[in-house]
Structure formats: C-alpha cells, structure tokens
Amino acid sequence: MMRSLTRKMKIHKKINTTLLSILTFTLTLSSYGLDRDYVPRAILTKAQEKEVIALAKKCGLKEVSKISTHNMYPSPFRGIQLQGPEKIKGREVSYQSLSMSHGEWLEPGAKPRKGQIQMGKFWAGKPYTRKKTILKVGKKEFRTGSINGMTPEQCETILGLLLGGKYEIGPTVNKKTLEQVGWNTPSNFSKRGESISVGFLHKAKDSGFFDLQIKMVGNKLTIEQMFQAIP
C-alpha cells in the first residue's frame, strides 16, 4: 500500500515538473516575446521553433529573441538565423547571432560539418557576436554595420540628405535602379581621402545590396556612381 502511494506521488511530482518546464518555455516565447521574420518558402512551425531554440541553447546561444529565415539566392536553398537580446551602450549595439541549417532546405545529402551540433533535421555551429552603430536622423534610429574613416555624426548628415531626397545624381546613375535602394537599411559608411562609399540593402529581402560612391561639397551631395550586387 505504502509502495503504491509512494510511486503515485513520484509520478505526480514528475508530471508537475514536466508541466512546469513546458509552462516556463511557453512564457519565454509569449511573455518575453519572440520576433519572427520568415520568408514565404521557409516558415517554421511552433514545434520547429521550439526545436531550433533548444538547439541554439546547446550551441551556446542561451537566449533567443529573434528567428529569421532567408533565401540563399541564386540557389533554391534556404537558411535560418537566430539572434540573442541586444546590448546597447551609447551608440554601440551588440548581440549574438547563430546561423542554422535545415536538412530539407539544402542540397540532397547535406550533413553537418565537423564541430557542428545536430538535433533532428537541424544543425548549427557556434554563435558569434555582431556589432552595429546607431545613427539618428530626426526622431528615427537606424543601424549600420560598419563605419570607417568617418564619425557617426557625418554619417547621419549623409543619411539625412539621402532619406530626404536632397541629392543630385551623376550621368552614369540609373534612376530606376536607384528606386530599389532600401534607404532605411544602411549597411556601411566608408571614407578614404575625398572618396565616400555608402552601402544599402535592396528593398526586397535577400535581393543583394548597393554601393553608392558619393561626393560631398559642403552640404551638397552627389551620387556619382552606383554599383549593385545581385545574388
């Protein structure tokens, strides 16, 4: 009788522990929020989200705040990116990022590389730290990947002119192509001597990026050349 009662209590305790674990995990997704950014051909189910988050923790990414998927053009393959919470110090933003693969979204027979961890059909390596710089134009904030040879304030001046359409274009710049620039997504600013280069992503996700060669004379901005990288 006592053995039966003790066994029932242990089972009851185990069930409660399991329910508490599930509840804790659910709160991690709902209360704290999980940002999702999926492309149409690569949408994870709720069960898959739990699986990739569990794998991310095994790989060293202790907390996941965002999951995104992307196309790997020009191939038909797709990939997954997980991001940890941001740490902001002044203008600097840093966070951990983890690239992940899904066996069904890659070429037939694709397998994890040495050192990668696999869970089900997903695998990944180690997370890495990414850093960005906050730029402010008016009341809006933008984040850029790298700044070389310039101050953030100089970048803000250039970005403000581009966002406001206050620029001239050189004879070799295609106006229709210029309309595809994602002005809200600056990727880099660089200056060498008098040569200024500014990078932006394409308006359409996973569709490449643009490199603008700019000339500044006082507050007059001219886009002299424009290069497009197409995946």
pLDDT tens digit string along 114-146? 999 999 999 999 999 999 999 999 999 999 999
Are 215 and 202 in contact by the 8 Å Cβ rule? The answer is: no
Compute φ and ψ for 53, nearest 5 degrees.
-70, -40
* pLDDT above 80: residue 153: yes
Element (H, E) at 162: helix 152-163
Average pLDDT value for residue range 213-225: 94
The answer to whether residue 17 scores a pLDDT higher than 90 is no
> Confidence band (pLDDT; 50, 70, 90) for 194?
confident
pLDDT band of residue 231 (cuts 50, 70, 90) is confident
Q: What's the pLDDT score for residue 22?
A: 36
pLDDT at 6 > cutoff 90: no
Helix (H, G, I), strand (E, B) or coil at 57: helix
pTM: 0.75
Q: Is the pLDDT of residue 105 over 70?
A: yes
* pLDDT tens digits along 62-89: 999 999 999 998 899 999 999 999 999 9
Q: How many CB atoms lie within 10 A of CB 175?
A: 7
Q: Is the pLDDT of residue 10 over 60?
A: no
User: From CA 121, how far away is CA 44, in angstroms rounded?
Assistant: 12
Q: Which CATH class is domain 137-229?
A: alpha beta
- Please tell me which residue, 2 or 109, carries the higher pLDDT value: 109
Which bin fits 5, alpha (ψ -120 to 50), beta or left (φ > 0)?
alpha
What pLDDT shows up at residue 115?
95
pLDDT at 219: 86
Mean pLDDT of the chain: 87
Domain ranges of the chain: 31-126, 137-229
Give the pLDDT of residue 7: 46
